[in-house]
Chain A
Amino acid sequence: MSLHYVAVGWNRQKKIYDSILAGSLTLYLALFALLGSLVHPNATIETLLIRGFGTAAFLLLHVILCIGPLARLDRRFLPLLYNRRHLGVTMFLLALTHGVFSIVQFHAQGDENPLASIFLANRRYASLADFPFQPLGFFALLILFLMASTSHDFWLRNLTAPVWKRLHMMVYAAYGLLVAHVTLGALQSERSPVLAVLLGIGMACVLSLHLAAAAKERRVDERQPATGGDGFVEVCAVEKIPLNRAVTVSLGGERVAVFRYDGKVSALSNVCQHQNGPLGEGRIVDGCVTCPWHGYQYLPDCGAAPPPFTEKVPTFRTRVVDGKVYVHPKPFPAGTRCEPARIDGNVQEVAV
């Protein structure tokens, strides 16, 4: 949330996060290579490293893909989301190591350019069982490279959020390519069904968590409140909104976060300008709506980040009548000040 970009911004939490990540990965790779060479004394170290880095990257990709929906379903996973970018870049570096080792091992020192050889060495493109699996890994690596190299907030701003978001949705294409890379590669050579079962469990986790999170959001979207004569829509009773938090409603197809704080009610777009985090799952901290994902902040009455920051989200008119909260579904341009509705009388606080 800064106007100046530093190459990588580290703070205390990120340092802890990154050292745990580095430790876990070292453990995984060491276990794979050292125990691997004890269990299989005939295996060459190149093979163990190629497999170790490939599987570490693929496992980390599963974790990355699962964190998003997990954080939606259970707030305790939110801290993992905060620094997901470092997970992504780390995963790319592991995959790159695997890819480069593989290219050197399987294609270098021959009679063809090693990169061209990825595509030309196996020409059985018309077969399923013998389909060349390495080009699939290559294209996945290309996508991961694009994502890792544009992961910085500098690119997020310069590409604009929608373009950036679309680019980063390509992680699902990369995941699909990699499932095929493994299914048409290692699974065709290995005899043990354990590997196929493991891949199946991984895919089932990714898919089911995404479906569960989507179902949760659909419940919000389906709750279409009735519209009054003046265009205002009844959202809920005031006490349904916990103090300093929000209730998310879908109004005219757009999700709106309705916050209660300081005896007032304000409504903002639910979509954080940073990476589309759900502001309605955030909270008022120091008088500002604070995004649950990376902590970007907005003033509740005008949807603008406090100076010197410049992010802005659309705002909505609110009204409180007879202990009920109403919101007008027509958004004001991002950053427009909108008088918060005052709550008269005491609110029965719901224990949180």
Chain B
Amino acid sequence: MSGRDAEFYVGYLPKAPGRLGASLRRIVLGLNLLAAAVALTLIFAQAPFADSRFEFLQYRDYEGVLVRDPYPSLLVKRPGAMDGVPSFARYLLVAEGKRGFVPGAELEARLVRLRGSLIHREDQRMVEVLPQSLTPAGGEPLPKLEWTGLGEAALYGEIVDTKCYLGVMNPGEGKVHRECAARCISGGVPPGLRVRDTEGNSFVVLLAGADGRPLNREVLDFVAEPVRIDGKLSRLGDTLILRAEPSTFYRLAGSRP
């Protein structure tokens, strides 16, 4: 039996015996170093965070044409539009929380004003509309802008809720975000398919039913995991939409893209 064993610690006595106190200090120091090492390792091992933004509690005014094709969006004219660049930018519209935005049908295709917080990732944008801030800006309904068909396409990716993916949460995709993505899409946030182009850039293609209807609960079982979707791809301005029936979505088991 070694010498240190002779010292005996009784917690309710005011002071621990000398040698025990010394080894205790070493143990406590060791545990603190361990905690710091774990914190540092975790900080540096976390996957990088996307450059996405949510201007929480910051509000801007917007003016543009309200459309529902099928997801409520504001088409805002770009100043000094050039050839080859779309003459307007699309801002998807959502409500606060995990909710879609539901504008009145009478404002469809009209010039409107609204106030809200900007959400953006790369050049894909969205506005969280401040309640009661949507007002008509006058004028007659504008001619409807049509999607241009790009033909059949098979896209691989992950279904995300556009609100979190574009900036409200970071990370806004992947397994840890699955529950939240389901909650948001179920509440009316537009679902999108996060795809990668050949250069590895990620962007979102909106998803709609084969008949163009908005999708929400129908896609819940497929969110946040690798899927293949075969459908009709269309473009309007800088936005892509894939029209396909959820019953034909194909789950890719195994590797995550």
Interface set of A (CB-CB < 8 Å, partner B): 11-14, 20, 24, 27-28, 31-32, 35-36, 39-40, 42-44, 46-47, 51, 55, 59, 63, 75-80, 82-83, 105-112, 117-118, 121-124, 129-130, 132-134, 184-186, 188-192, 194-195, 198, 242, 282-283, 285, 290, 292, 294-295, 350, 352
Once the chains bind, are B45 and A190 in contact (CB under 8 Å)?
A: yes
Q: Shortest distance in angstroms between A347's beta carbon and chain B's nearest beta carbon? A: 16
Q: Is B221 an interface residue, CB under 8 A from the partner?
A: yes
Once the chains bind, are B39 and A107 in contact (CB under 8 Å)?
A: no
Q: What are the residues of chain A within 8 A of B224 when measuring CB–CB?
A: 130
Q: With A35-B43, A76-B27, A195-B45 given, is the CB distance from A285 to B8 under 8 Å? A: yes
Assembly CA distance A282 to B9 (angstroms): 9
* B10-18, B73-81, B104-112 - interface stretch: B10-18
Interface set of B (CB-CB < 8 Å, partner A): 1, 3-6, 8-16, 20, 23-24, 27-28, 31-32, 35-36, 38-52, 54, 96-99, 169-171, 174-180, 182-184, 186-188, 220-221, 224-225, 253-254
Nearest A residue to B15 via CB reads: A12
Q: What are the residues of chain B within 8 A of A40 when measuring CB–CB?
A: 43, 46, 48-49
15 further A-B contacts with Cβ under 8 Å, apart from A111-B188, A132-B179, A186-B176, are A13-B11, A36-B46, A42-B51, A76-B23, A76-B27, A80-B27, A106-B180, A121-B180, A122-B179, A123-B220, A129-B254, A189-B176, A192-B45, A198-B38, A198-B42
Q: What are the residues of chain A within 8 A of B169 when measuring CB–CB?
A: 44, 46-47, 105
Once the chains bind, are A194 and B221 in contact (CB under 8 Å)?
A: no
Once the chains bind, are B183 and A111 in contact (CB under 8 Å)?
A: yes
Q: What are the residues of chain B within 8 A of A121 when measuring CB–CB?
A: 178-180, 182-183, 186
Once the chains bind, are B99 and A13 in contact (CB under 8 Å)?
A: no
Q: What are the residues of chain B within 8 A of A42 when measuring CB–CB?
A: 48-52, 170
Q: What are the residues of chain B within 8 A of A107 when measuring CB–CB?
A: 179-180, 183
Q: Shortest distance in angstroms between A341's beta carbon and chain B's nearest beta carbon? A: 23
Q: With A51-B42, A77-B27 given, is the CB distance from A108 to B97 under 8 Å? A: yes
Q: Within the complex, which residue of A12, A44, A123 is in contact with B221, where a contact is CB–CB below 8 Å?
A: A123
Once the chains bind, are A110 and B14 in contact (CB under 8 Å)?
A: no
Q: What are the residues of chain B within 8 A of A186 when measuring CB–CB?
A: 176
Assembly CA distance A295 to B225 (angstroms): 54
Q: What are the residues of chain B within 8 A of A24 when measuring CB–CB?
A: 31-32, 35
Once the chains bind, are B38 and A20 in contact (CB under 8 Å)?
A: no
Nearest A residue to B37 via CB reads: A198
7 inter-chain pairs at a CB distance below 8 angstroms, sorted by A residue, are A11-B14, A35-B39, A44-B170, A79-B11, A121-B178, A123-B221, A134-B179
Q: Shortest distance in angstroms between A180's beta carbon and chain B's nearest beta carbon? A: 13
Once the chains bind, are B171 and A47 in contact (CB under 8 Å)?
A: yes
Q: What are the residues of chain A within 8 A of B46 when measuring CB–CB?
A: 36, 40, 43, 51, 190, 192
Q: Shortest distance in angstroms between A196's beta carbon and chain B's nearest beta carbon? A: 10
Q: What are the residues of chain A within 8 A of B97 when measuring CB–CB?
A: 108-110
Q: Within the complex, which residue of A11, A59, A185 is in contact with B11, where a contact is CB–CB below 8 Å?
A: A11
Q: What are the residues of chain B within 8 A of A11 when measuring CB–CB?
A: 11-12, 14
Once the chains bind, are A111 and B187 in contact (CB under 8 Å)?
A: yes
Once the chains bind, are B170 and A43 in contact (CB under 8 Å)?
A: yes
Q: With A31-B39, A47-B169 given, is the CB distance from A130 to B9 under 8 Å? A: no
Q: What are the residues of chain A within 8 A of B179 when measuring CB–CB?
A: 106-107, 117-118, 121-122, 132, 134
For A27, A110, A118, A352, the residue with the greatest tally of chain B CB atoms inside 10 Å of its CB is A110
Nearest B residue to A52 via CB reads: B39
Q: Within the complex, which residue of A13, A14, A27 is in contact with B36, where a contact is CB–CB below 8 Å?
A: A27
Q: What are the residues of chain B within 8 A of A83 when measuring CB–CB?
A: 11
Assembly CA distance A350 to B129 (angstroms): 82
Nearest A residue to B189 via CB reads: A110
Q: What are the residues of chain A within 8 A of B182 when measuring CB–CB?
A: 121-122
Assembly CA distance A79 to B44 (angstroms): 34
Assembly CA distance A109 to B180 (angstroms): 11
Q: What are the residues of chain A within 8 A of B174 when measuring CB–CB?
A: 188-189
Once the chains bind, are A55 and B38 in contact (CB under 8 Å)?
A: yes
Once the chains bind, are A78 and B49 in contact (CB under 8 Å)?
A: no
Q: Shortest distance in angstroms between B254's beta carbon and chain A's nearest beta carbon? A: 8
Q: Shortest distance in angstroms between B4's beta carbon and chain A's nearest beta carbon? A: 7
Q: Which 3 A-B pairs have the closest CB atoms?
A: A109-B97, A82-B11, A110-B98
Assembly CA distance A63 to B40 (angstroms): 18
Once the chains bind, are B183 and A110 in contact (CB under 8 Å)?
A: yes
Once the chains bind, are B171 and A242 in contact (CB under 8 Å)?
A: no
Q: With A55-B38, A111-B187, A242-B1 given, is the CB distance from A189 to B47 under 8 Å? A: yes
Assembly CA distance A12 to B23 (angstroms): 18
Q: With A28-B36, A59-B35, A108-B97 given, is the CB distance from A13 to B16 under 8 Å? A: yes
Q: Within the complex, which residue of A76, A109, A130 is in contact with B4, where a contact is CB–CB below 8 Å?
A: A76
Q: What are the residues of chain B within 8 A of A283 when measuring CB–CB?
A: 8
Q: Shortest distance in angstroms between B175's beta carbon and chain A's nearest beta carbon? A: 4
Q: With A20-B28, A44-B170 given, is the CB distance from A110 to B184 under 8 Å? A: yes
Q: Shortest distance in angstroms between A50's beta carbon and chain B's nearest beta carbon? A: 9
Q: Within the complex, which residue of B16, B27, B35, B178 is in contact with A130, where a contact is CB–CB below 8 Å?
A: B178
Q: Within the complex, which residue of B16, B42, B180, B221 is in contact with A124, where a contact is CB–CB below 8 Å?
A: B221
Once the chains bind, are A110 and B186 in contact (CB under 8 Å)?
A: yes
For B51, B97, B170, the residue with the greatest tally of chain A CB atoms inside 10 Å of its CB is B170
Assembly CA distance A24 to B27 (angstroms): 13
